[in-house]
Homo-oligomer: A and B are copies of this chain.
Amino acid sequence: MSAERTIALLSGTDQPGLVARVSGWIFERGGNILHADQHRDMEANIFFQRLEWIPADEANAQAEASEFADFASTALGMQAQVARGGERSKVALFVSKIDHCFHDTILRFRAGELAGDLVCIISNHPDLRPEAERYGIPYHYIPISKANKAEAEAAQVKVLHDSGVHLVVLARYMQILSAEFLSALQRPVINIHHSFLPAFAGGRPYHQAFTRGVKLIGATAHYATPDLDEGPIIHQDVTRVSHRHNIADLVRKGRDLEKAVFAQAIRWHLEHRILIYNNKTVVFD
């Protein structure tokens, strides 16, 4: 994401002239619109737009971004999120012991593939601390049990707020987040579920898939909500399996799916490409 760009995500009740008024506002200030994707949900009568533009006056760009947000909400009655390309989001990664998404995500951040910075790792197990240290990323070991769940989650929230985290990603984190945690966190959380949701929600989806005899297995990245595995779906993919594959094969093949689907969802989020409504997502890819 080039530092000089401003990115806005708008949504709200559809009304005539939105495209013209929004682009006109930017044009009048000398901005150069690079991308202007939009979408209408005809039934729900909602308008969505993602804009990327280069402001005329970079020194004043931050102020202009705020003005644009005001304009969108006041004059157009739209919800607006406005970001500057140079503001890199801070990301925290949650992990338990399973490490393929952990390594894959870290390596993608290191390769510059994701428009943000991985600032900390939180785990309910100490196992991956040496790996995290090799990568030079702070590792917070916060054990969780039934007895201490509330305290542990409070400790997690404190770490996340202290680190100024904007996004939490669950890299096969094997704990259910409570509604209280999500409510205290006030930040989006992306989870990777190892099935093609809504098929095989809940635990041990590869075992469920094997038992049902499906011919494709999948992975689903979604925003976490208090309803487990029911949050807005961001991305999904599948791969073919046959009677020749046992559960261990499904787990292995699934790892590649999980890594790719998870990374794509994180990428889109960090590039401000996702809008949520009605428990669904609009992804301007």
Identify the A interface with B (CB < 8 A): 16-21, 23-24, 26-28, 30, 32-43, 48, 99-100, 103, 107, 111, 113, 134, 196-200, 212-216, 218, 232-238, 242-244, 246, 252, 256, 260, 263, 278-283, 285
Determine if A20 and B24 form an interchain contact, defined as CB atoms under 8 angstroms apart: yes
Determine if B252 and A256 form an interchain contact, defined as CB atoms under 8 angstroms apart: no
Determine if B199 and A215 form an interchain contact, defined as CB atoms under 8 angstroms apart: no
Using known A-B contacts A199-B199, A243-B280, A256-B260, determine if residue A16 contacts B20 with beta carbons closer than 8 Å: no
Residues in B whose Cβ lies below 8 Å from that of A237: 216
Q: 18 extra interchain contacts, Cβ-Cβ under 8 A, other than A19-B27, A39-B243?
A: A19-B33, A20-B20, A20-B23, A20-B26, A20-B27, A20-B33, A24-B24, A34-B40, A48-B243, A196-B216, A198-B214, A199-B199, A213-B280, A215-B233, A242-B283, A243-B280, A243-B281, A260-B260
Q: In the complex, how many angstroms separate the beta carbon of A212 from the nearest chain B beta carbon?
A: 6
Q: Which 3 pairs show the lowest CB-CB distances between chains A and B? A: A213-B280, A20-B27, A20-B23
Complex CA distance for A24 and B17, rounded to whole angstroms: 8
Determine if B236 and A42 form an interchain contact, defined as CB atoms under 8 angstroms apart: no
The residue among A35, A107, A234, A243 with the most chain B CB atoms within 10 A of its own CB is A243
